[in-house]
Copies of this chain bind each other. A is one copy, B any other.
Amino acid sequence: MTTTDKQPSLPLPPASTTAPAEWRVMIADEGSSVKMDHGFGFGLARHAWLAISAKFSAIAAMLWRMGVEDPRKVVHGLKVGLALALVSLFYYLRPLYNGVGGAAMWAVMTVVVIFEYTVGGSLYKGLNRAAATLTGGGIAVGVHWIASKAGQAGELVILNGAVFILASAVTFSRFIPVIKRRFDYGATIFILTFSLVAVSGYRVDQLVSLAQQRLSTIAIGISICLMVCMLICPVWAGSDLNVLIIRNMDKLADSLEGCVEEYFSGKEAPKARGFKCVLNSKLSEDSLANLAAWEPAHGPFGFRHPWSQYLKVGAAMRSCAYCIEALHCSSHSEIQASELMKRHLSEVCMKLSSKSAQVLKELSVCIENMRSSESLSHMVKEMKEAVEEVKTAMKSLPTTYNNELGLQKDDDSMMMKKRQSFMESLPLMTVVSLLMEISVKVEGVEEEVQKLSGLAEFKPSGDKF
């Protein structure tokens, strides 16, 4: 009899329960297949070791998945490493060994703090840092000069008072939306530089030479950082925003079709939940548009590409997604419409949803190719026609329905049936009504994309259409 058999009740450490299923199976397999005669302590240590290694493997697997899903994240890591190594090398080869407080420090610090995932992010921080260091340092030197005329005690009061007033005012100004959006980092750096220079006990002439030195190192840091960021596999916030909007538009189209199909066919549609991405992407859109505004022309996008219009397109899409969410809820209502009515409306509803989805898909193609589409207006017309068809079908519903039920005989049991049917028709009516509402929202998206097309000067549609 082996030790493993003697302690069948020894539980696996809790950590292993968070490991993926395949790992737990592997641990269990190993535990039962190895039949060595070992003591209790060894068994415990072994269990702990297995648990830890399982945990680590799970983390490694997660990281691997992350890297495979978006290799740009791995590249970003390597780019930061490279930029830092370059800065370090720069200072090794040109020794400025005057300590951590020396000039090299500012270059290293600049690279670490400024290097962001997107080019827009790095430019935002770099330009903010440069401008804030210049202005903060300049004002501080001025205040220093005034304070130096005022004797020991006066100097203390003036400098400390200036730090207090400027820091308070600039911190408060960070609550102003436009400053928050564009210059938040700059405000911090302004306070930092101003306070540092004010607190330092240097004389003004020393300060000026120090400021020059500091500025040149920061400039080196910013240039290395921006070069690595922009030249090696750059990630453009603008392109990312463009892709996000296109992808969300496709998801919206798929999930609209999916939801309606699910409702009428009763089968699960794999892409029906796509609208949830659209509901949750406001934050990403806002921050990408914000950073994209700092980026120079890249790819098909000019310097003053109307990024803010993308936000309006996004908002129109979200407004559409709210209705799809409501449709999704109604279609999963507990009251189910009679098959008869469903069958009557199924065809026209499916047509409307597919026509609406077609418009959305065409819009996403327009944005992708930055080309306006001739067939778009035709598609919108078809969508509107589909709405009219749904209305016609709705109007003919009572007749068809009454005929089938044989309502010519107006007896009591028929009346009961009719009442029941009105209640039953409720979720179906809701789905139909929301579907029409969605087509209005799709027109709203179309309008915003048309505006974008005008602002961004989309090419006229080519021979392709």
**Partner-B contacts on A (CB < 8 A):** 62-63, 66-67, 73-74, 76-78, 80-82, 84-85, 87-89, 91-92, 95, 97-102, 104-105, 108-109, 112-113, 156, 159-161, 163-169, 171-173, 175-176, 188, 191-192, 195-202, 210, 214, 279-280, 282-283, 319, 322-323, 325-327, 329-330, 333, 391, 394-399, 415, 418-420, 422-423, 425-427, 429-430, 432-434, 436-437, 441
* Contact pick for A426, options B98, B214, B433, CB 8 Å: B433
Question: In the complex, what residue of chain B is closest to A89 when comparing beta carbons?
Answer: B160
Q: How far is the CA of A161 from the CA of B396 in the complex (A)?
A: 77
* Contact pick for A192, options B88, B109, B159, B436, CB 8 Å: B109
Give 16 new A-B contacts, CB below 8 A, not counting A81-B165, A333-B437, A396-B419: A67-B172, A77-B167, A78-B168, A82-B164, A88-B163, A92-B160, A100-B210, A100-B214, A112-B188, A112-B192, A279-B322, A325-B326, A330-B434, A330-B437, A399-B419, A430-B433
Give the residue among A67, A88, A97, A173 with the most B Cβ atoms within 10 A. A88
Q: Is the CB of A195 within 8 A of B101?
A: no
Asked, given contacts A91-B199, A164-B84, A196-B108, whether A172 binds B74 with beta carbons under 8 Å apart, the answer is: yes
How many copies, total? 2
> Could you list some 22 contacts between A and B, CB below 8 A?
A63-B176, A77-B171, A80-B171, A81-B166, A81-B167, A87-B199, A88-B195, A99-B201, A101-B101, A101-B102, A108-B195, A322-B326, A326-B326, A333-B436, A333-B437, A395-B423, A398-B419, A425-B429, A427-B433, A429-B429, A429-B430, A430-B430
